[in-house]
Structure 1
Amino acid sequence: MSNYSIDDLRYLMSRLRDAQTGCPWDIKQSYKTIAPHTVEEVYEVIDAIERGDLEHLSEELGDLLFQIIFYTQLGAEDGLFDWDKVVNGITDKLVRRHPHVFPDGTLQSVRSADAVFDTKAINKKWEAIKQQERVDKGEGGALADIPMALPSLSRAYKLQKRAASVGFDWTDLKDVLAKVKEEIAELEVEIAKGDSLAMEDEMGDLLFSCVNLARHLSIDPEKAMRLSSNKFKRRFEAMELLAAGEAFSTMTAAEMELLWSRVKAQE
């Protein structure tokens, strides 16, 4: 089996994009057409990790790496950036953001092995460096650079975390819980009115407050939702087996509840 390197992968990408001898599909792609595939590859990496399928994780990581190689090829063709610029940029940024590891701000500098870490101070410095980076890019607001394209729960979490980093946050978990209950009550009012637009608005507020509760409990809401979704799928499929071909549409609510309870009891 050949032992290929990152340079070989870059060469392969250039061959795929060759206008004369390349692959028709790869040749016609753009940043925007590749983006959905990138999202898919990220989730496949996460899925492999959460399923404990480490045997295939390297394959999924390779698929994700290829996405980056693809973008750098497009960037090079457009004269915007290339692989070296991407690597240099991320290395420079990480050295800059880790002064507790690289004390002189160079990759070669080494901290004292006897240095005592203050995690809170390190986190505070990290956020201060990121804030300065935002200012340097003309993005002075605390929330300015949070991507719109993030999954909704992750974006809500990041917005709340960033706001908290500048002091806008609840200090008592009871207040966070109270806010969730308040949003439920407001949703119930709109449900009673039958106002669909208002219901959507209040449902969003409720979900946002639930994300905030998850953040205060140090729970990743995206992960929690994936686990719950997987649990529902597993239980539903077990119900289908117990139903032995009988359609749920022909069952009473009590019969379906019984099946659900039996499945839960077997876990």
Structure 2
Amino acid sequence: MQNSSLAVLQKLQDLIQVVARLRSPDEGCPWDLAQTPQTLIPYVLEEVYEVVDALRQGDPDAIADELGDLLLQVVLQAQIASEAGQFDLATVAASITEKLIRRHPHVFGDVAVADVEAVKQNWEAIKATEEQDRSLSETATGETSLVPRLSRYARSLPPLTAAMKISRKAAAAGFEWETVQGVWDKFHEELAEFEQALQTETKAHQQAELGDLLFTLVNLARWYDLDPDEALNSTNQRFIKRLMCIETVADRPLSDYSSEELDALWQQAKAQLANDAVRLMNVDQP
């Protein structure tokens, strides 16, 4: 075990040295030297999504490769910060280590937990305490403790993920409907306002009404314990698979088909994929 840990540390040190060489003013790479924390943001986001895609595909080689690309971004950000005298990779590692120990008192302390749900509740309570401490200065300037937290979600997360986080935190603070019917009423209200905006309002107002409608859909997902990110990703994948089926049987460019012909091909693709799914299910059953 010790030898394995030493090997991992050596490989990590090799990576740190390679990145430091790439950033060397005398013998480094011009592209790497030109990068800043801000210019690297698109690459960080790209690598995160590529890791997620590899995880969904379940390919161990692809997962290892994409995790390496993401690790490079972490090391590169730490290297740039170290050059500026801000922090280094050791600071990053120490911070997350301390956080993990602090948020797992049932492992590193004497707190007893009965199940996974109790662990989640403890985690959220500890996070809430940390966030409250972090926002004391903001509260002193007149801001509520909730607003800075929600603002961080809006700034740092993809919009759909941020909307679910904001919705959950607002509901926990009491900003909630009494029943799910209230959410459905709000959905129909926002749908009507969006339809009206499309007919008579400016593009900016239409965008705003679309955002209101989407946020209400996120709230419906929360009430029914559904994941809107996973739902939309699943729909994207189904759309691509159906389009692939259509392109397989098409004997000319899709733009040459009429709307009725495309609809017929679409329904055929849906039926084919549904039948394939049933067959796979039957094969998997003992």
Normalising by the smaller structure, the TM-score range is: 0.7 to 0.9
- In structure 2, the CA distance between the partners of 1:200 and 1:51, relative to structure 1 (3 Å rule), is same
Give 1:53 deviation, angstroms: 2.2
Q: Provide the identity percentage.
A: 36
Distance in 2 between the 1:98 and 1:129 partners? 14
Indicate if the aligned counterparts of 1:131 and 1:142 stay in contact, CA closer than 8 A. no
Question: Partners in 2 of 1:265 and 1:69 — Cα distance?
Answer: 48
Contact 2:50/2:66, CA 8 A, preserved across alignment = yes
User: 2:203 and 2:154 mapped to 1: Cα distance?
Assistant: 28
**Whole-angstrom CA distance in 1 between matches of 2:162 and 2:113:** 35
Q: 2:42 aligns with which of 21, 32, 36?
A: 36
Counterpart of 1:138?
138
Deviation per CA, 1:124-168: give whole Å up to 9, x if none: 523432332432563653141324142111111111122123222
Show the counterpart of 1:59. Answer: 65
Shift in CA distance, 134/217, structure 1 to aligned 2, threshold 3 Å? farther
Q: 1:200 maps to what in 2?
A: 207
Question: 1:126 aligns to what?
Answer: 126
Moved more, 43-52 or 159-168: 159-168
- List gaps (5 residues or longer) in structure 2: 1-6, 274-286
Amino acid across the alignment from 2:237: N
Which residue, 77, 81, 87 being the options, matches 2:87? 81
Q: Whole-Å Cα distance in 2 between the matches of residues 155 and 115 of structure 1? A: 29
The structure carrying a bigger helix percent of its residues is 2
Amino acid at match of 1:79: G
Moved more, 248-257 or 14-23: 248-257
Give me the TM-score of the superposition, normalised by structure 1.
Answer: 0.86
**Structure 1 residue identity aligned to 2:114:** V
Distance between the aligned counterparts of 2:94 and 2:154, measured in 1? 23
Question: Are the aligned partners of 1:187 and 1:202 in contact in 2 as well (CA < 8 Å)?
Answer: yes
Using the size of structure 2 for normalisation, the TM-score is 0.81
Post-superposition Cα deviations, 1:171-221, rounded to whole Å, max 9, x if no partner, equal 422222222222112212223335433322211111111111122222222
- Tell me which of 52, 56, 61 is aligned to 1:50: 56
Q: 1:136 to 1:71 in 2, by over 3 A?
A: farther
Cα deviation digits, residues 47-86 of structure 1 (max 9, x gap): 1111222331011111101100001100110000001111
Aligned to 1:186: 193
RMSD: 2.3
The answer to whether the 8 Å contact 1:97/1:129 transfers is no
Correspondence 1:228 to 2:235: yes
Paired residues of 1:75 and 1:82 also in contact (CA < 8 A): yes
Unaligned stretches of 5+ residues in structure 1 = 104-110
Greater shift, 82-91 or 192-201, is seen at: 192-201
